[in-house]
Structure 1
Amino acid sequence: MKKKLNVGLVGMGKMGILHGGILCSMDSVVPVAVADTETMLHSFAKSILPQMNFYKDYREMLEKERLDLVYITVPTVLHPPIAEACVEKGIPFFVEKPLGISCEQCVPLIRKLREKPVINMVGYVLHFQDVVRKARAIVQSGVLGEPIHLKSYMYVTQTLSKSGGTKYKKSVMGGGVLNVVATHLVDILVWLFGDIAQVQGSVKSYHSHEVEDFAHSYLRFRSGLEGYLDTSWSLRGYRLPEIKIEVEAEKGRLILTEDYVKLFLDASGRWESFFKQTLYESVEIDVGGPEFTREDRHMVDSVLNGKETGLDVLYAYEIQRVTDAIYRSAQMGQMIEVKNIGA
């Protein structure tokens, strides 16, 4: 008989419900417990998942349940401490992005993992999008030659009036649109083009009191590639998050969005387009997009097979280093190096 993983979930907000729904559909998974401080969510969840155990405190869940995997989908400030508790118990974990509110907050987790490794993964889900995978395959093939310059943005219409609440508190989320939303854009830029060495950032708050609504940064990669990113959650006309990356290279040009990849090569003198519909590969259940199912399948299979995920805490720490550096650069008003913060 094939092994089934007993899975516990910490946090039953939007992402917890999303991952929970996907995991419930997998034959190799048995969701057995949920921890959430909101008792109203307990009543709702019990009505549809009567076989599960519910806890107000994740520490009690980790102590009482025999878990093979834990999903952590809570406000950002709680990511590292809950992950640390999983490491102490020797339990593999998945934690939503970003890794934490700052590099400094993540250092104890990294040190614990070095002392007691467990399989882990951070939710940079765009690695599992068909168009992003296609763009990476093109870049890695070398057909573009040396990348020279890029421009990129990530926009969404989320905040158009004075905003409060937990998700707009710097102490809880680590920042605004850059750390909460555009961490996905930073991730894809690093995954496609390698480490970022220097940044010169600027941020602007208008609707939000504690965090930024707009962010912009010049980027210099270790490869010599240069360009910029721009992001906001306070622009009209973006009902869903929208990413666009344009790269000028030695032998052509690449454009990536969440809907298509377009490639121009000087040798052919024409554009070639790859749309998400033609790149699509089916999944067993599609909740929120096939990339989320692929992400969860990858996490589960990694635990079942005892293999690293390739999207672990150390990788996510590299993304955190870039966002932290952009914030520091904006505060200092100058270009700075993306440095290691004591890990």
Structure 2
Amino acid sequence: MINVALIGAGKMGLSHLAILGAHPEVKVVGVCDTAKLITEALTKYSGFNCYTDYLEMIEEVKPDAVFVAVPTKLHAPIVEKLIAKGIHIFAEKPFGLNPEEGIPLVKMAKEHNIVNMVGYHTKFVGTFQEVKKIVDLNLIGDIYHFQAEAYGPVVIKNKQNNWRADPSEGGGCLMDYTCHVIDLLNYLIAPVTEVYSSIIKPIFSSHVDDAVYALMKLDNDVTGVLSVNWSDETYRKMSTSITIIGTKGKIISDASELKVYFKNEFDCPPGYSKGWNVKNVTELTEDVDFYLRGEEYSAQIDYFIQAIMGKTENNINTFETACQTDQIIQMIKQKAVAL
């Protein structure tokens, strides 16, 4: 049994808490939040040990692992203290407000042999996992172009008074939305190594960006386009998709549906045929013990717990890959064209 504590009981923190509470190999030993309204409600209705000071909680409950779901600006000091205490860490994304915060933490986690993970849940979606398999097997030939996209209705009016409008809190489409797409792109094809140019565009916001567009090159010399807009009300919720074009085929995938085109019959893996193939996420997703908002959220937590138990490798969504995503975000900022 892995003893787990949570720091930050906001939207994502409570989601993690629900999944952790139902995990057969986890015991939730403490929850910390600075809002007494939240801790009092949890104490009354959940039975969890609740705290307003995370250091006090750590000393009293001595967890094996901690989930850090606080604002991004608070990640670095909390994570540093947890690593020093030998505690395994799951942190919400993005890892830091800049890569300079994350680089020393990557080194520390390795030195202290800490199992570490950042909450880029999209990698655990069945359709994107299938894309990864197809790309790794080189089944669509030499890739020469990609288009990585995400759209959603987060900011669709001028007045915004929450953290999403504050760059010092990790607000803005680039930090909050685009990071998911970059991280997925790095994983599915190859890491971004160059940003030729970018546009960071406000639409309704005054202090942060609402749309991000960029021309990029990957580590394998594949080039493509990034297009993200969180002010698109034609979408009910965030929709992330990727198009990958190769010499022997084409992939178009989002979190719900995978479409693959194979030019030749002999390039097709089992279950596929020449021409267009369409598979729904339900065909490609493994069952999880507890469903909340999508199987991927439970799957990523189970992966983290299994890594702590030594049952799987700790090589997906690590501090290192998340810090790499932070570095690319910085590159996009540096290459932004003045509007």
Normalising by structure 1, report the TM-score. 0.92
Per-residue deviation, 1:97: 1.0
* Aligned position for 2:294: 289
Q: How does 1:99-248 map to 2 (within 5 A)?
A: 99-162=95-158, 163-173=160-170, 175-199=171-195, 200-248=197-245
Instruction: Mark the CA change 1:210 to 1:26 in structure 2 (over 3 Å): closer, same or farther.
Output: same
Q: AA paired with 1:117?
A: N
Q: AA paired with 1:221?
A: L
RMSD over aligned Cα atoms: 1.6
Unaligned runs of 5+ in 1: 334-343
Normalising by structure 2, report the TM-score. 0.93
- 2:68, 2:103 → 1: CA distance? 18
* Pairs aligned (count): 328
- 2:165, 2:252 → 1: CA distance? 32
Q: How does 1:1-343 map to 2 (within 5 A)?
A: 4-50=1-47, 52-162=48-158, 163-173=160-170, 175-199=171-195, 200-268=197-265, 269-305=274-310, 308-310=313-315, 311-330=317-336
Unaligned runs of 5+ in 2: 266-273
- 1:12, 1:145 → 2: CA distance? 46
Q: Deviations along 1:290-328, whole A, 9 cap, x unmatched? A: 111111111111112276421210111111111111011
- 2:293, 2:314 → 1: CA distance? 21
- 1:242, 1:213 → 2: CA distance? 15
Q: AA paired with 1:116?
A: H
Percent identical pairs in the alignment equals 27
- 1:79, 1:142 → 2: CA distance? 38
Q: AA paired with 1:319?
A: T
SS at match of 1:305: coil
Q: AA paired with 1:263?
A: V
Instruction: Mark the CA change 1:331 to 1:10 in structure 2 (over 3 Å): closer, same or farther.
Output: farther
Per-residue deviation, 1:140: 0.8
Q: Deviations along 1:252-271, whole A, 9 cap, x unmatched? A: 11111111111111114510
- 1:14, 1:170 → 2: CA distance? 19
Contact 1:119–1:308 under 8 Å retained in 2: no
SS at match of 1:203: strand
Instruction: Mark the CA change 1:217 to 1:145 in structure 2 (over 3 Å): closer, same or farther.
Output: same
Query: Quick check: 308-317 or 8-17, which moved more?
Result: 308-317
